Amino acid sequence: MPNQLQKTGILVSCSLVGFCCGTLYLYSAYSPQLATKLNYSGTDSQFIAFCGLIGVALSGVPSGILIDSKGFILALIIGCTMISTGYICLKYQYDSLISDLKVSSFCIFLVGFGSTFINSTLIKCCAVTFPNNRGIATSFPIATYGLSAFAYSFFGNLLFKSDTSRFIGFLGYSTLVLCLIGAPCIYIADVNSNKGHTVRVASNGSSSRPSLADSRSVSGNIRIGSPSIELQDLSGLRPMHLVDQASGNKPPSINTAANDSTDSTKSEILKSLKFWLILLTLGLLAALGQMYIYSVGYMTKSLLLVKQASSELISSEQAFQVSVLSLANFSGRLLSGFIGDLISNSLKGSRSWNLMIPTVLILLVQIIGYNLQDYSKLWLESMLTGIGYGFTWSSIPQLLIELYGVSSFSFAWGVINLGPIVPGYYFTHLFGRIYDQNLVPADQTTGSAGVCLLGEICYSGTFKITIWFGVISVALAVWINLSNFFTGGSGGSSLYKRLSRN
């Protein structure tokens, strides 16, 4: 086990590196300038953002398999290389005025692809290092992931003002620096997680130490014994008498349960209905959040052009909205860890109740977005989006570990990341299409072609449709939690047992 100093260094390093894998959220801060410089339409700009989402989603499974089999460092190197390459190439395209949608899309795809490799590495690294406080520990790198946009926006504005080219270059080169700083401690965690932490069960069924799933009671029963128990640092065991009191059952003999599996296998995860419900919920919440995050720059521009605001003021307010989103995202990710641990450890409930918070918030955002007409209130919509989005991405990893264990966590997390692809494409394309329909023709503008002067009408039709998807996400979260409550899942076993006895 790593000592306290090593643990502190690992947590700080993971939190620091987390900043570089959240830069994709900055896209809305410079996307209008990029579109203007390279003559892209609103639909083109949204497609570029969607390619970043595709990168995040498609890298989930390969990054999970790599981390589970090869550890943390290789995945960190791959992620760092991808992000840096994406931004440096995008800067070159911007400076050279190469108006090629495929090139821009591929650059942002690389950023998204590398972001998932690093993010998955940091989550599992913290979970392994802090087995007894996984929710809080993993929320730190997840939170800095969300805070990334604010930090980069602040320093970028301080150092480069409105120089978009230098800012994009800063995103690429700073990624290399942050990963180099954090690599030594993450390497230590990698070595510790593979050194002396595997316990095997003898052929007679006896075991020297139970695993995470042995002490975890997802269905109200305790399962003990396994032919191979890996990643013991993640055990987070409670004393057996506390487990006994919480579940109301006597712990079975190790010998009688020796053939039971510990953590869920990959095939068991894929056969789980609840897993697919979680994937659908994440897909809708993440896609709705990303649509807003990648489009808030255009929303800001539309609302301010009605008031004949200057381009300098518009750029400043776009950066402000990104900062609000980032701070709220950070807060949501951090709060989710604390609330998840409170629900699980103090209230003995399932972390799936965490999902109710972001689903309600994201639905509220769609309602506000459809009705909002005054720019001065847009910060409220950005704040709620950030909190809901941050809660979503922080609560899902905790829930997956609770339900399926840690052995195949990176695989499950990778598959879950595929959820936003289809709804993400639909929502971003929908926003871009509706926005382009309201553009003023070139011959009717005074110096600027391709702008919308209709205020909230430029995009409000999008929210009229997405409200219904927000309702669906709430229904899915309710379904997940009611299935726990009535079928004896985590947090609902006591009612199930009373009904069974009656």
Which regions in the chain score pLDDT beneath 70? 1-2, 134-135, 194-262, 441-450, 484-502
Domain range list for the chain: 4-194+267-487, 199-262
3-state secondary structure of 223: coil
- Please state, as a whole number, how many other Cβ atoms lie within 10 Å of the Cβ of residue 64: 26
Token pair recorded at residue 435: 């926005």
CB 176 within 8 A of CB 83: no
Instruction: Report in angstroms the alpha-carbon separations of 125 from 24, 181, 234, 488.
Output: 22, 16, 10, 31
Q: Which residues contact 412 (CB under 8 A, 6 or more apart)?
A: 64, 266, 269, 275, 400, 404
CB 23 within 8 A of CB 148: yes
**Phi, then psi, of 162 in degrees rounded to 5:** -100, 20
Q: Which residues contact 402 (CB under 8 A, 6 or more apart)?
A: 216, 218, 344, 350, 351, 490
Residue 81 C-alpha from the chain's centroid: 20
Token pair recorded at residue 80: 């760092």
Closest-CA residue to 418 (of 286, 264, 266): 286
CATH of 4-194+267-487, one of 1.20.1560.10, 3.40.50.300, 3.40.50.2300, 1.20.1250.20: 1.20.1250.20
Closest-CA residue to 119 (of 51, 169, 211, 55): 55
pLDDT attached to residue 424: 87
Closest-CA residue to 197 (of 179, 182, 209, 205): 209
CB 291 within 8 A of CB 428: yes
Whole-angstrom distance, CA of residue 41 vs CA of residue 296: 16
pLDDT attached to residue 451: 73
Closest-CA residue to 247 (of 79, 66, 490, 444): 490
Whole-angstrom distance, CA of residue 136 vs CA of residue 142: 10
Q: Do the bridges between strand 199-200 and strand 228-229 make them parallel or antiparallel, or are there none, so unpaired?
A: antiparallel
- Cα dihedral 463→469→473→476 (10° resolution): 170
